[in-house]
Structure 1
Amino acid sequence: MDTHLDFADLGLSPVALDLGFFTLKWYALSYLAAFVTGWLYLRRLVRLPGAPIAEAHLGDLFSYVGFGVIVGGRIGYCLVYQPAIWLTPWRVLELWNGGMSFHGGLAGTLIAIWLFARAHNLDLLRVYDYVACATPFGLFLVRIANFVNGELWGRPSSLPWAMIFPGAGDGIPRHPSPLYEAFLEGVLTMAVLAWMFWRTDARLRRGRLVGAGLLIYGVTRFLLEFTRQPDAGLEHLSWGLTMGQTLCLPMVAAGLWLLICPPARAPAPAAASGSQPGSPRPGRAQ
């Protein structure tokens, strides 16, 4: 007798609120909740002495990050996983139909923070460190939303917790891979970075926290690709890896480099003694 759980029996719906004239989906709420929880946590982090940014910067920072996540995530998804969409380029703007790439969102976020740090005259790598600590909240929430949507199901499995996902259309029990990702990419990364931040001096070492975050995500996502069903046509590339695994390799390399050969601390300008993060440097117009 088949004892595997059918996802449909969970009674989950991608719609959180339906008023007829207005529909709110859990996926959209997960992004909103990710920004709110990330902002609250980051506000707590920057209150400690030695933070690279001031609390007053957070509103501006999250404006940059929000734009980078959405634009980078969508463009990354369309370029890598759905290139045919560019034949009808207006569909790239149809965010309500879903389709976001973590790796694209990461690239967009890195560029956005670079622009933010440049505009406010901040130490870029240390800003990355602090933002890295707040990122796992979003990873966890978005992956839970993926599971609620019944998407990104895993490969066939005979494990007791394997599920039959109606969207797969084959009735075969599969790994509930969004849950694996939520707890490994989200909870595990969050716990390790929190321990490093609060229990060690990692917050004062440039690149240490973002390096650990990149390494943990890259390794866990690489391994989870063995349980996650890849997008059609991207299962086994000519070099033997999936597209997800391939995109993780630069993250692993960057994480190891930042942990093993961290960049030296930038010397503080002589005139900046006693100034707050983001204070103007001499001779630079603001």
Structure 2
Amino acid sequence: MPFPNIDPIAFAIGPIAIRWYALAYLFGVLLGAAYGWLLLRNPRLWYRGAPPFPAKDIWDFAFWAMLAIVIGGRTGYVLFYNLPYYLQNPTQIINTLDGGMSYHGGMLGLMLAAVLFARSKGGHWLSALDLLGAVATIGIMLGRIANFINGELYGAPTTLPWGVIFPTDPLQVPRHPSQLYESLLEGLLLLLLIRVVTHLFHGLRKPGLVAGIFAIGYSLARILVEFVRLPDVQIGYLYGGWLTLGQVLSLPMLIIGIGLVAYALTRRENPIRP
């Protein structure tokens, strides 16, 4: 299947080019904040009827979130994926035009921002992480679509009928559109699953439950897709050629997610029903 003719640059204003990649981050935060506002304004969803902070403050948090994603994502990429290069070229650390962002670094930044913001408002920090788990899937879905448009992070060669020939691939062979796999699994399907948990099973009344489900769902999906997604060229496969760095970084997330779910479900003083 040929790659769709989509220009990575959405539009330009004079010499300034606006890329779909940047718009994905922007709209991921804005749409996530809008959905978060809907959740926060319904106290019946939350533990003891108390959301982590007032709904009106979500737009202030959106600013925190944007900074946390950019700073955390870039820092994570520098530290986890290409530290020797950036030690030799420190001026390139702030150059995000190469698309060098780490999901795990961005999520750590977001978690820290959510905890600090909730504490500043006197809210429950675990509920703040639950809020992140409920809305972060939107940004992930859009971000992976932007990766597809950029022709980056594609998968291994495949003979499946939906294999895509990416213009950035030097071999020009059909490959797994692993970006779209992740957009579907880590984004849309996980969003729908968490929506069921929050609204049918009152999951936000168990602080830590939604955050744990998000961590488990994301890490399992990421580990699965990494089996067909090519690793970063500067790192390659690890531990004898069968693990990727993305899988290694997702394992602690999986363990923490399981721990959060177990903690949330064993606290009897947090009623899950009205």
TM-score past 0.5 threshold: yes
How is 1:173-184 mapped onto 2 (pairs within 5 angstroms)? 173-184=174-185
After TM superposition, where is structure 1 displaced by more than 6 Å over at least 4 residues in a row? Answer: none
SS at match of 1:24: strand
1:191 Cα deviation from its structure 2 partner: 0.3
Letter in 1 for 2:197: M
1:120 Cα deviation from its structure 2 partner: 2.2
Give the conservation status (yes or no) of the 8 Å contact 2:219–2:250. yes
More displaced stretch, 15-24 vs 215-224: 15-24
Give the conservation status (yes or no) of the 8 Å contact 1:206–1:265. no
1:238 Cα deviation from its structure 2 partner: 2.3
Match of 1:280 in 2: none
Task: Give the counterpart of 1:33 among 12, 27, 41.
Answer: 27
- Whether 1:253 aligns to 2:255 is yes
SS at match of 2:10: strand
1:18 Cα deviation from its structure 2 partner: 2.2
Q: Deviations over 1:192-216 (max 9, x none)?
A: 0111111112110011100000000
Letter in 1 for 2:257: G
Letter in 1 for 2:253: M
Match of 1:281 in 2: none
TM-score w.r.t. structure 2 length?
0.90
Count residues in correspondence.
261
Match of 2:6 in 1: 12
TM-score w.r.t. structure 1 length?
0.87
Match of 1:99 in 2: 100
Identity over aligned residues, as a percent? 36
User: In 1, Cα distance between the equivalents of 2:13 and 2:52?
Assistant: 44
Please provide the CA RMSD for this pair: 1.7
Match of 1:42 in 2: 36
1:233 Cα deviation from its structure 2 partner: 4.5
Give the conservation status (yes or no) of the 8 Å contact 1:78–1:86. no
Task: Give the counterpart of 1:242 among 241, 244, 248.
Answer: 244
User: In 1, Cα distance between the equivalents of 2:38 and 2:217?
Assistant: 23
Instruction: Evaluate the alpha carbon distance shift between residue 20 and residue 60 of structure 1 in structure 2; reply closer, same or farther with a 3 A threshold.
Output: closer
User: In 1, Cα distance between the equivalents of 2:130 and 2:59?
Assistant: 18
Letter in 2 for 1:6: P
Match of 1:279 in 2: none
Letter in 2 for 1:76: G
How is 1:60-209 mapped onto 2 (pairs within 5 angstroms)? 60-83=60-83, 84-209=85-210
User: In 2, Cα distance between the equivalents of 1:48 and 1:150?
Assistant: 40
